[in-house]
Chain A
Amino acid sequence: MLHFELVTPEKLVRSEDVYMVVVPGTEGDFGVLEQHMPLMSSIRDDAELAIYREEKGAPEMLRIQGGFAEVSETGLTVLAERIGG
């Protein structure tokens, strides 16, 4: 499982294990699974993160503003200024 954290300046919104997250990067969407290589990417404004808790099933969509994604050995961290429209 991939450890996924979503943080805003006001609080740690989420910290959980998920199957996959599709991140809308500035240079294109990319999916992050467990054991992904280290990566830093900015995120397009007003785009949606797709969080897949299970391998099958519909993703949970989350709109974020002013985002930045960091993938390291410990998992995926998304820094967002705001959540929602």
Chain B
Amino acid sequence: MASLKALKIRIGSVKSTQKITKAMQMVAAAKLRRAQMAAEAGRPYAERIEQVVASLAARVTISDQTPKLLAGNGHDSVHLLIVTTSERGLAGAFNSNIIRAARRKADELIAAGKTVKILTVGKKGRVLKRFYPKHIAGDIDMSAIKNVAFSDAQKVADEVIQRFDNGEFDVAHLFYAKFQSALVQEPVGQQVIPVPVDPDAAKTAGAVEYEPDEETILADLLPRNLAVQIYRALLENAASEQGSRMTAMDNATRNAGDMINRLTIEYNRTRQAAITTELVEIISGAEAL
């Protein structure tokens, strides 16, 4: 049995851990609210541009003039995985879920004989380097960014488009965690280049005048659409990260509480045992006289 002193120190240390996890949980809860609001505020724009791009994409016929971001470059051999993660850990399974989703896709593509390149956005995604040392195409550092702004997403999108124009890859997938609630964050991988076309979208908008023409508008909107998708992914990620951290830290706080209870009981028992032994010693000593 551990000594009284050791137990006391142990209880103290668990208590201070609990204080930290409790504080982190509260900070995450406050940040979650803000991140959720940002994600909601960004929705109207994303929905509109998606609608417009979908209805335009369904109207144009694929030809040489069609922007490459929509039609693809005619190949399907090099895939780029854009993996967005957070900058910090201690957020439960948030980062590992995204990374697992990306790895599953990467393994699938490699097994199918495709070339896989990985672009990581955010520090925690860099562990992918360990699994695929030859496939890392780059890393975008987000450590200086506190609240994601559209211009940050734009930078990522510009880099991706530049690589696409240079012919570095044919198809791009974007990985992030979709925020459903503080308890549930679903890792998703979605194809962003070429833009998947929904054939149902064509039926909207009857006679619409285009100024200039459809192709020019598309060429203008497609890069913007990519930036919006990435922006949305980053916002969803921010909300998911905080939600996941909040839940993880709530669990940690509860676990620490349980541990403190257990240790306190053990401490009291040990103390009682010591007192009993002492009493027995005194009494038997007195009887011997």
Footprint of B on A, CB under 8 Å? 5, 7-12, 25-27, 37-42, 66, 68, 70, 72, 77, 79, 81-82
Contact = CB atoms under 8 A, between A and B. Distances in A.
Contacts of B44: 5, 7, 11-12
What 3 A-B pairs come out closest when comparing CB atoms?
A41-B211, A11-B41, A9-B150
Interface residue SS majority, chain B = helix
27 contacts: A7-B44, A7-B48, A9-B42, A9-B45, A9-B150, A10-B150, A38-B206, A38-B207, A38-B209, A39-B211, A40-B52, A40-B210, A41-B210, A41-B212, A42-B211, A42-B216, A42-B217, A42-B220, A42-B221, A66-B224, A68-B217, A68-B221, A68-B224, A70-B52, A72-B205, A79-B48, A79-B49
Q: Could you say which of B45, B52, B150, B206 has the most chain A C-beta atoms within 10 Å of its C-beta?
A: B45
Interface string B5-23: 0000000000000000000
Interface in B201-243: 205-212, 216-217, 220-221, 224, 227-228, 231
Given A8-B45, A66-B224, A81 B150 contact: yes
A9 B209 contact: no
Nearest to A25: B211
Contacts of B192: none
Nearest to B52: A70
A9 B228 contact: yes
Contacts of B208: 38-40
B210 A10 contact: no
Interface in B14-66: 38, 41-42, 44-46, 48-49, 52, 56
B36 to A, nearest CB: 14
B220 A68 contact: yes
Interface residues of B, number: 30
Q: Could you say which of B41, B49, B211 has the most chain A C-beta atoms within 10 Å of its C-beta?
A: B211
B90 interface: no
Nearest to B148: A10
A12 B228 CA distance: 14
B46 to A, nearest CB: 7
Contacts of B41: 10-12
